[in-house]
Structure 1
């Protein structure tokens, strides 16, 4: 299998497309986390990731911002929210 991937054009193209898809998913990770966690700053995190994510510091900043601004730090939609008063 590896011989086919390394020695043929189709194999190289497959590896190139697979690497591109994986890189795109990693690049969009802060956006996905902000959307999943219900961040109120989703549009700002998206813009930061798109325009400055290619720099490592911009991507790390977007990732930290997405994780810190979620709905109480849970992935659960029914989890406690910071906007609801608890008595």
Structure 2
């Protein structure tokens, strides 16, 4: 086993990786959580262009836009 310092660095690196991934997929998660009517294209934009930052911001703004409710006939 490594020293406590190296173990702490490992845990810190794992935490930062998990945080980074969580922030990266945030727009898609918001769209899915809100059952957005365009959630699939938002995920595609987020995954393919999220690394450009502007793509990530656009996906997040799009995910936050009002959701059109689907009409259901009973």
TM-score of the aligned structures, taking structure 2 as reference length: 0.82
Q: Report the aligned-residue RMSD.
A: 1.5
Out of 44, 57, 61, the residue aligned to residue 47 of structure 1 is: 44
Structure 1 unaligned regions, length at least 5: 72-80
In structure 1, distance between residues paired with 2:30 and 2:15: 22
Structure 2 unaligned regions, length at least 5: none
TM-score of the aligned structures, taking structure 1 as reference length: 0.70
Q: Say whether 1:21 aligns with 2:18.
A: yes
CA displacement at 1:70 relative to structure 2: 2.6
CA displacement at 1:69 relative to structure 2: 4.3
In structure 1, distance between residues paired with 2:40 and 2:22: 18
Task: Name whichever structure is richer in helix by fraction.
Answer: 2
* Stretches (4+) displaced over 4 A: none
